[in-house]
Structure 1
Amino acid sequence: MALETVNWNPPTVLIDGCDTFAKLFRQNCLARGNTIAMREKELGIWRAYSWADYYDRARQVGVALLSLGMKTGDVAAIISEDNKEWVFTDLGTQGIRCVCHGLYPTLQSRQMAFQLNDSQAKVLFVEDEEQLDKFLEQETKLPYLKHVVVYDMEGLRRFSHPKVMSWEAFLALGDEDRARLEVEWDKRIDAGLPEDLAILIYTSGTTGNPKGAQVSNRYILSQADNSPDLPFGPGDEFLTFLPLCHAAERIISVAIPIRYGSVINFAESGETFAKDIQEVAPTAIFAVPRVWEKFYSRINFIMQEGTPLGRKAYNLALRLNEKVQAGGGSFLTRMAAKLTDYAVLRNIRIELGINRTHTILSGAAPISPNLLNWFQTLGVSVQEAYGQTETGIITATVPGQSPIGSVGRAFRGVELKIAEDGEILVRARSNFSGYHNAPEKTDETVLDGWVYTGDIGKLDQNGDLFILDRKKDIIITAGGKNITPSLMENELKFSPYISDAVVIGDKRKFLTALIMIDQENVEKYAQEQRIPFSDYKSLCRNPAIEELIDKEIASVNKGFASVEQVKKFRLIDILLTADDEELTPTMKLKRKVVEEKYGDLIASMY
């Protein structure tokens, strides 16, 4: 399926003579042979898989899909947590010029059904019984779906359904005609075109049904080839834990490793993340700001529980490092900074699993400048990146050059400009190829190759980009003052007691906020202060906890002008998860949904 971006032809991208991602995958896997490509934990032991394993299993998937009659441009979908089967399926699907559609495993069955019908997926790969149940709930509403493959059959050994088969049975489908089908596999790869649709990535659907962004081979190759703008390459070890259906994680854990030969390590689960990162000690990590906020909170509480001497040593080490990094300090100061870094900060980096990390990449949401400063002082380089599903990652900060608070400079092959109303426009070799089945939405978003991002920003004299806010989220108070709520929200989230915040105030006399507390840290505080509570709701409604959050907000308010300060707040007393409609799959509060659902709570503040 060849596609073309409206009124603009982006340049073809070649990597080592390959103009499609499947060609690059085949070439590099065969060249790397038995060197390690990935690791996955099985029964507590990290098991390694080579590039030869990666290619052989992906080809098995492709051959099995061919045996099911999949034609060029047909769609296969995956709903699963990250695992080796996910990437085998992804590359096997792309290898036969079919389209891989990843779905967030937290989707409800009706949300899954909408996407599957929109993409017209013919085959669905599900992780386990939980995900299979979603298909069974919606089966009669899925006319295009012909086959369902289950990765993990635990609890399903006696289950039988005409459309459902195990992963093992699926892989065996091509056995009888394997020689012919493997020839067809190579022919399909050879026939691939740069503008062929390779993957579908659906937006989170904050203001309506999600849209399927069409991603071509050109897009993936351009994102795989972003070094040195992103300092990842051969020898790097990644920990893969964010959903692979997210554009950025797909780039970091699939495209870049295949390009450079980096190794990916699949985290066992969200619950074991802290242990997994310690064991892997990755050299580079990509995550959203909430992960980095948790890192800071964890160390903050360790220090609170530590000895007075330990706290003094920690604070001294941070001060010395900060002074040296700023270019100041005598010879003795620099030596003292090295000593305290080794004796104190190195142990913190080991505790967090970032002792080997040369680069932390943060993206998908704004991050507090205070948090960036803390990591920098800790001795770890943090690069903030910017992009969207529709463009890929297109900027990143330059260590030592880009100012704190910016998202850096445009990559090779990327044009940036600011529209008259402040909206950021992007034209890049990684531009998406339009929205699936939604030409009118594509026309609203892309004009002459320029993607209208919906973000408000500015460029400084060095080309560093600053994101101010989402265009639709800018608050205009009753007094006519324009407020960018994300600035206040990011500073509030720097507090170890605040997990997320939504600032309210459009057409109102003053700003207020809805606060989601950090359950773990606030519960710990309550236990230490002997504040009684029985559950999350009672914790949020306790006056002592409200006073705690009030003090945190008052502290943040000091850094803002009076009109920009939060005057009142309310706590959301429901423990939200990615399954709830208020949160995106990447755990960001949906502003419009929150404002509608908690309208009465907001009204009580005015």
Structure 2
Amino acid sequence: MALSGPPTVHGQDTLPRLFRHVVRQRGDAVAMREKDLGVWRGVTWRDYGERARRVGLGLVALGLRPRDVVSILAENGPEWLYTDLGTMSVGGVTNGIYTTDAPRQVEYIVNDSGTRFFFAGDEEQLDKILEVRARCPGLVKIVVFDVEGLHGFTDPHVMSFDDLLDLGARYEHEHPGAWDPLVEIARPDDLAILVYTSGTTGPPKGAMLSHRNIIFQLGFTDYLTPPREGDQQLSFLPLSHVAERTFTVFYPLSTGSTVNFAESIDTVPDNIREVAPAVFFAVPRIWEKFYSGVALRMREATRAGRFAYRWALGVGMRMAECRIQGRRPPLALRVLDRLADLVALDNVKRSMGLHRVRGAATGAAPIAPELIKWYMALGIDMREVYGQTENC
């Protein structure tokens, strides 16, 4: 990262420039994966860039102007990311809306943000915006990712995501060379994204984050662990939250890691074991569930299994205490810790799918210090992250 002037990542000072650079550099490497009929299907950085480009050019064809706001109401998935970076790459501003929000909340955010283009994940989310559309005068077009269940539905202000991609492809054919000048529109201090807070002290407020804000924080992506080629991530928390947005959308632009989208919140434990992420961020509730699952399995284990676990965990706790106090563990303890990992702790981590985790983070709510210490005892480098949305 540059020490003077605007911060940069890989020599780029805005998200559109960084995205274009990474697409060119990583090409056929896998950027993201999602499950289709039980099989993980990959999307390369090249394909990622092409689809984001078509989204952006499709929006330009529909009349998007620089600094126009595009809101996304959808579950995590590749289309979310295509829309996010495609919008920013043509000078637009993106805003995520929680899929649990009611129509009246959607109406408020659409009007407060000045949203002109709205992306709905499916029929359920489309129904919310259609219910309040008459009270959203600035809305120009609604795009639907998944049109299953909308057979026979027609509305001049609603189009499918596939149709938007086709529109973008036609625009590119008719305006060759249009993309790169659009990518250059954004400046470091321009608004990049809006993130609406929970509104605990009144109505939700849109935190305004610039390209400079986000590029600056990406300069510290090795805070959890230095990235390695082939690192995997799992995306399952709402992308409308700034923490998950950072880990899923922006972090890989710096590290080149592959994002895997969980099938649903219910399949997260299975998906973690399948993916075996290198970096993992979750709210305390998820970490507590992992711990409870291990505790339950230990109650059902054999006497020998319980003894091995208790002994190994005791060794791990002594190691964790040394780390917490900033002391180097004595050699004898380090040897015992290696043995404890072989005897029990590695199996515990594998049962949760966390055996490859080099950096773990928790945030967005308080967590018991004892729980952090338990994970540290397993050999998982757990960090608690906190801050204001406005400062991310």
Deviations 1:239-259 (A, max 9, x none): 111111211111111112112
Structure 1 residues 251, 148: CA separation in 2 closer, same or farther (over 3 Å shift)? Answer: same
Deviations 1:122-149 (A, max 9, x none): 1111111110110121121111112111
Residues 233 and 257, structure 1, Cα contact 8 Å, conserved in 2:
no
Q: TM-score, normalised by structure 2?
A: 0.93
Deviations 1:541-570 (A, max 9, x none): xxxxxxxxxxxxxxxxxxxxxxxxxxxxxx
> Following superposition of structure 1 onto structure 2, how do residues 233-272 of structure 1 map, counting pairs within 5 Å?
233-235=227-229, 236-272=231-267
Q: 1:108 aligns with which of 84, 102, 105?
A: 102
Greater relative contact order, per chain length (Cα 8 Å cut-off, separation 6+): 2
Query: Is the partner of 2:384 in helix, strand or coil?
Result: strand
Deviations 1:479-500 (A, max 9, x none): xxxxxxxxxxxxxxxxxxxxxx
> Following superposition of structure 1 onto structure 2, how do residues 18-57 of structure 1 map, counting pairs within 5 Å?
18-57=12-51
Residues 79 and 102, structure 1, Cα contact 8 Å, conserved in 2:
yes
How far apart in 1 are the matches of 2:147 and 2:158?
Answer: 11
How far apart in 2 are the matches of 1:254 and 1:173?
Answer: 24
User: Counterpart amino acid of 2:164?
Assistant: F
Aligned to 1:359: 359
> Following superposition of structure 1 onto structure 2, how do residues 368-383 of structure 1 map, counting pairs within 5 Å?
368-383=368-383
State which structure, 1 or 2, has the greater radius of gyration over its C-alpha atoms: 1
> Following superposition of structure 1 onto structure 2, how do residues 328-477 of structure 1 map, counting pairs within 5 Å?
331=332, 335-392=335-392
Q: Which has the higher mean CA deviation after the structures are superposed, 350-359 or 247-256?
A: 247-256
How far apart in 1 are the matches of 2:186 and 2:127?
Answer: 35
Structure 1 residues 132, 379: CA separation in 2 closer, same or farther (over 3 Å shift)? Answer: same
> Following superposition of structure 1 onto structure 2, how do residues 98-177 of structure 1 map, counting pairs within 5 Å?
98-177=92-171
Task: Using the aligned pairs only, state the percent identity.
Answer: 43
Query: Is the partner of 2:265 in helix, strand or coil?
Result: coil
Aligned to 1:313: 308
User: Counterpart amino acid of 1:313?
Assistant: A
Shift of 1:345: 1.3
How far apart in 2 are the matches of 1:181 and 1:224?
Answer: 33
User: Counterpart amino acid of 1:243?
Assistant: P
Aligned to 2:220: 226
Is 2:67 the counterpart of 1:63? no
How far apart in 1 are the matches of 2:85 and 2:154?
Answer: 28
User: Counterpart amino acid of 2:84?
Assistant: D
Query: Is the partner of 2:91 in helix, strand or coil?
Result: coil
Shift of 1:328: 6.1
Shift of 1:115: 0.1
User: Counterpart amino acid of 2:74?
Assistant: S
Is 2:192 the counterpart of 1:209? no
Shift of 1:182: 5.2
Deviations 1:259-309 (A, max 9, x none): 221111111110110100000000110111111111111111111222232
Aligned to 1:276: 271
Structure 1 residues 321, 155: CA separation in 2 closer, same or farther (over 3 Å shift)? Answer: same
User: Counterpart amino acid of 2:244?
Assistant: E
Q: 1:184 aligns with which of 178, 184, 196?
A: 178
Aligned to 2:325: none
Shift of 1:349: 0.5
Is 2:228 the counterpart of 1:198? no
Higher strand share: 1
Structure 1 residues 75, 46: CA separation in 2 closer, same or farther (over 3 Å shift)? Answer: same
Deviations 1:520-559 (A, max 9, x none): xxxxxxxxxxxxxxxxxxxxxxxxxxxxxxxxxxxxxxxx
Q: Which runs of 5+ in 1 are unaligned?
A: 1-9, 393-606
Residues 75 and 99, structure 2, Cα contact 8 Å, conserved in 1:
yes
How far apart in 1 are the matches of 2:178 and 2:373?
Answer: 53
How far apart in 1 are the matches of 2:340 and 2:309?
Answer: 8
How far apart in 2 are the matches of 1:319 and 1:352?
Answer: 20
How far apart in 2 are the matches of 1:223 and 1:129?
Answer: 36
Q: Which has the higher mean CA deviation after the structures are superposed, 167-176 or 333-342?
A: 333-342
How far apart in 2 are the matches of 1:173 and 1:375?
Answer: 49
Residues 225 and 256, structure 1, Cα contact 8 Å, conserved in 2:
no
Shift of 1:48: 0.7
Q: Which runs of 5+ in 2 are unaligned?
A: 323-327
Residues 152 and 167, structure 1, Cα contact 8 Å, conserved in 2:
yes
Shift of 1:387: 1.7
Higher helix share: 2
Shift of 1:336: 4.5
Residues 319 and 377, structure 2, Cα contact 8 Å, conserved in 1:
no
CA RMSD in angstroms, aligned pairs only: 1.8
Residues 232 and 256, structure 1, Cα contact 8 Å, conserved in 2:
no
Residues 197 and 205, structure 2, Cα contact 8 Å, conserved in 1:
yes
> Following superposition of structure 1 onto structure 2, how do residues 491-570 of structure 1 map, counting pairs within 5 Å?
none
Deviations 1:289-348 (A, max 9, x none): 1111111111111112222322222111101222345366774x6545433321311111
How far apart in 2 are the matches of 1:208 and 1:173?
Answer: 40
User: Counterpart amino acid of 2:131?
Assistant: E
How far apart in 2 are the matches of 1:52 and 1:33?
Answer: 5
Aligned to 1:542: none
User: Counterpart amino acid of 2:306?
Assistant: R
The aligned length equals 382
How far apart in 1 are the matches of 2:95 and 2:167?
Answer: 22
How far apart in 2 are the matches of 1:257 and 1:182?
Answer: 29
Structure 1 residues 370, 64: CA separation in 2 closer, same or farther (over 3 Å shift)? Answer: same
How far apart in 2 are the matches of 1:177 and 1:202?
Answer: 32
